[in-house]
Amino acid sequence: MGMTITEKILAQHAGVQHVEPGQLIMAGVDLALGNDVTAPIAIDEFKRHGGKEVFDKSRVVLVPDHFAPNKDIKSAVQCKILRDFAKEKGIENYFELGNMGIEHALLPETGLVAPGDLIIGADSHTCTYGAVGAFSTGVGSTDLAAAMISGKAWFKVPPSIKFVYHSSKKGKLKSWVYGKDVILFTIGEIGVDGALYKAMEFTGDVIDAMNMSERFTMCNMVIEAGGKNGIVVPDTTTVNYVNQRVKRAYTVFTSDADARYEHVYEYDLSNLKPQVAFPHLPENTKNIDEVGRIDIDQAFVGSCTNGWIEDLRIAASIVKGRKVNSNLRMIVIPATPQIYRQALKEGLIETFVDAGAVFSIPTCGPCLGGHMGVLAPGERAVATTNRNFKGRMGDLKSEVYLANPAVVAASAVLGRIGSPEELGIKG
Amino acid sequence: MIIRGNAHVFGNDIDTDVIIPARYLNTFDHDELAKHAMEGVEADFYKKVTKGDIIVGGSNFGSGSSREHAPIAIMATGISLVIARSFARIFYRNAFNIGLPLLEVNEDIDSIKTGTPLEVNLDTGLIKELLTNKVYNAAPIPEFMQELLRAGGLMNYMEKKGH
Ligand code: SF4
């Protein structure tokens, strides 16, 4: 019996020939990540249990991205714990303000994640790196503490589910439809626990035609279906991306033809329309033309899901020469300093500012209701983020609608949720 | 191990943002976190918990973020066990890693009411409503998770194994 790419990576890191779904393994990790919310607990545990040195100074990554720049005194203390620990232990990949970006965009961009890697991060969206063909999954602070000491983590080998996406136009989707819509559609189909404990493997001509940012967006949101990891078998798009960034040797794994999948879903996406997820679950998806009239108070483009340069380009192309509706605020946050710089070079920042939006330095910001755009009771936001749970972006009585950057930008101009087509823009 | 306590019932898809809203994540002080446990669905939950009580959830309990603050906050209120139809996976590993047991019950537990006294045998997975003697069968806790619980969490376990 063959193995899936997920099983092969896990087997290799556990030092065994073969693994089966359900099997418990102890495996070596290539990278262990923490942020200003999760790492302080891990560092505390590390110290309480007599941790002296980290297992490998180049393989522990600390990113203060959630509440940084420090939004209040308590956050300042949390960030300081990371900074002091990084200095004390000689951790090479600590990202100070100026180099700091949202972890899940920063790590791929700086070449820290490579195909065939096994990566854990004390952040649920660590699953993002599956887009480069790595096994990558979110864990908790205690897992991070244990891994910082031992370089190891325990896993239950997940069964794999395969998703095959086709389109009659050689994998091309309709205008204003992106990876974000494919993953929202998928979560709408299978539900928020549709892939609980499982590996989601994405294939088909639609995936082949996607750029890396869309693949990152898709893998980013597998956790919203309960998935353990999302993964795309590396192809030339992947290899071109990582070769420009990764400076060490890596292994490309593929899935065997006779690998076992618990389920195979096949979708024809030739006619897929932009998707909008209604409060308060990512599975409450509707086609853009079924949305009805939803007035909004805030439009947000950013986060580890859609804060990539490609997303900013899409949003900018829509607000260019237009004005943000006077009934709402538009906030745009690039995911990393490099994306910020690129946006500056391409004149995107000017486009946003001219339209009446605000453009911020990289941070998680309002995505988790931290700062930079928290919602009041009764307010509604349309956002490119990944979660629309109750209270996610602020007060418990606020609402979040999830969409792609084109829909968010068009909505910012319209004052209600709508598509670029309503503005007469052709894709 | 036998656990006795009163049930606190919650529905499906109780996510980590309602278990402990993000605005409290700028600390990991256990008592502070306890005060805000379950705040997204029930204000002042911690005041209603007697040490040893049991949370009964629906499906996908603990979905969302990897914040260990979620099981920590629950445990810090005095809750000794969470029973649910299913758990989100990071919450599941976090709970065992810090020594909070979870039981997955593939039966109709919706009839259990808040306040009902329960007796749970963690070794067999048998759950009993003490007033009616109605029983439910949970999947027994996997051996590795039991080892984690016996050791008092992952860190102690790793230390013992000399990893
Ligand atoms: S941008 Fe949002 S989802 Fe992504 S890491 Fe930050 S808080 Fe989490």
Query: What's the 3-state SS for A321-332?
Result: CCCCCCCCEEEE
Main-chain phi, psi angles of A131, to 5 degrees: -60, -25
Bigger pLDDT: A272 vs B23: A272
Q: How far is the CA of A270 from the centre of ligand 1 (A)?
A: 30
The residue in chain A having the minimum alpha-carbon distance to the alpha carbon of residue B95 is A140
Confidence of residue A30 (pLDDT cuts 50, 70, 90): very high
CB neighbours of residue A248 within 10 Å: 10
HEC string of A278-329? Answer: CCCCCCCEEEHHHCCCCECCEEEECHHHHCCHHHHHHHHHHHCCCCCCCCCE
CATH number belonging to the domain at A277-423, selected among 3.30.420.40, 1.10.3720.10, 3.30.499.10, 3.40.47.10: 3.30.499.10
Distance CA B44, CA B21 (A): 13
Tell me if A385 sits within 8 A of A305, measured CB to CB: yes
Bigger pLDDT: B144 vs A216: A216
Q: Which residues of B touch A138 (CB under 8 A)?
A: 66, 90
Closest by Cβ to A196, choosing from B17, B89, B155: B89
Contact B89 A226 (CB under 8 A): yes
Given this model, what pLDDT does residue B110 score?
85
**H or E stretch at B120:** strand B117-121
Q: 């050791």: which residue's tokens?
A: B151
Q: Which residues of B touch A41 (CB under 8 A)?
A: 28, 68-69, 72
Q: 């897992």: which residue's tokens?
A: A143
CA distance A289 to chain B (A): 28
Distance CA A343, CA A142 (A): 38
Confidence of residue B163 (pLDDT cuts 50, 70, 90): low
Q: What is the mean pLDDT of residues B103-131?
A: 94
Q: How is residue A25 written in tokens? A: 């393994």
Q: How is residue B158 written in tokens? A: 């790793």
Contact A44 B28 (CB under 8 A): yes
- Segment A302-314, tens digit of pLDDT: 999 999 999 999 9
Strand partners, A275: A287
Burial classification of residue A131, based on how many CB atoms lie within 10 Å of its CB (0-12 exposed, 13-18 middle, 19 or more buried): buried
- Segment A105-137, tens digit of pLDDT: 999 999 999 999 999 999 999 999 999 999 999
Tell which one of A102, A339, A400 to mutate to probe ligand 1, the residue whose CB is within 8 A of the most ligand atoms.
A102
Distance CA B112, CA A263 (A): 33
Q: Does domain A5-267 have CATH number 3.30.499.10?
A: yes
Query: Where in chain A do CATH 3.30.499.10 domains reside?
Result: 5-267, 277-423
Contact B64 A122 (CB under 8 A): no
Given this model, what pLDDT does residue B161 score?
78
Strand partners, B56: B9, B83
One DSSP character per residue, B91-112 reads HHHHHHHHT--EEEB-S--TT-
Our answer on whether the CB atom of A125 is closer than 6 Å to any ligand 1 atom is: yes
Distance CA A303, CA A77 (A): 23
Main-chain phi, psi angles of A408, to 5 degrees: -65, -45
User: pTM of the full predicted structure?
Assistant: 0.95
Confidence of residue B26 (pLDDT cuts 50, 70, 90): confident
CA distance B45 to chain A (A): 16
CB neighbours of residue B114 within 10 Å: 12
Percent of chain A with pLDDT over 70: 100
